Amino acid sequence: MGIGVLIIGDEILSGRRSDKHLVKAIELLSARGMALDWARYCGDDRARLVETLQQSFATGDLVFSFGGIGATPDDHTRQAAAAALGLEIALHPEAAALIRAAILERRGVEANAMQLAMGEFPLGSTIIPNPFNQIPGFAIREHWFLPGFPQMSWPMMEWVLDTHYAHLHHARSWAESSIAVLDTNESSLIELMRDLESRFGVTVFSLPNLGGEGVPRHIDLGAKGEPEAVEAAMAAMRAALSTRGAPWCELHALPSAD
Q: Whole-number mean pLDDT of the chain?
A: 95
Instruction: Specify the pLDDT at position 254.
Output: 82
Domain 175-253, CATH among 3.30.70, 3.40.50, 2.40.30, 2.30.29? 3.30.70
What are the residues facing 127 on neighbouring strands? Answer: 138
Look at residues 224, 233, 217 and name the one whose alpha carbon lies nearest to residue 185. Answer: 217
- Parallel/antiparallel/unpaired status of strands 175-182 and 3-8: unpaired
| 138-180 residue pLDDT tens | 999 999 999 999 999 999 999 999 999 999 999 888 889 999 9
Please compute the mean of the pLDDT values over residues 240-258 and round it to a whole number.
87
Gap between the Cα atoms of 172 and 34, Å rounded: 8
Gap between the Cα atoms of 219 and 24, Å rounded: 27
Gap between the Cα atoms of 74 and 112, Å rounded: 19
Grade residue 257 by pLDDT with cuts at 50, 70 and 90: low
Look at residues 98, 79, 88 and name the one whose alpha carbon lies nearest to residue 136. Answer: 98
What are the residues facing 181 on neighbouring strands? Answer: 219, 248
Gap between the Cα atoms of 165 and 142, Å rounded: 11
Gap between the Cα atoms of 53 and 50, Å rounded: 5
Burial class of residue 161 in the structure, from the number of CB atoms within 10 Å of its CB (0-12 exposed, 13-18 middle, 19+ buried): buried
Gap between the Cα atoms of 38 and 19, Å rounded: 15
Q: Could you give the residue ranges of the DSSP H alpha helices within the chain?
A: 10-14, 21-30, 46-59, 77-85, 93-107, 113-117, 150-164, 190-200, 227-243
| 173-228 residue pLDDT tens | 888 999 999 989 999 999 999 999 999 999 999 999 888 777 888 999 999 999 99
Please compute the mean of the pLDDT values over residues 20-28 and round it to a whole number.
97
* Residue 212: C-alpha distances to residues 183, 230, 249, 257 (Å): 14, 29, 17, 7
Location of each CATH 3.40.980.10 domain in the chain:
3-168
DSSP for residue 166? G
Instruction: Specify the pLDDT at position 1.
Output: 82
Location of each CATH 3.30.70 domain in the chain:
175-253
CATH for the stretch 3-168: 3.40.980.10
Burial class of residue 158 in the structure, from the number of CB atoms within 10 Å of its CB (0-12 exposed, 13-18 middle, 19+ buried): middle
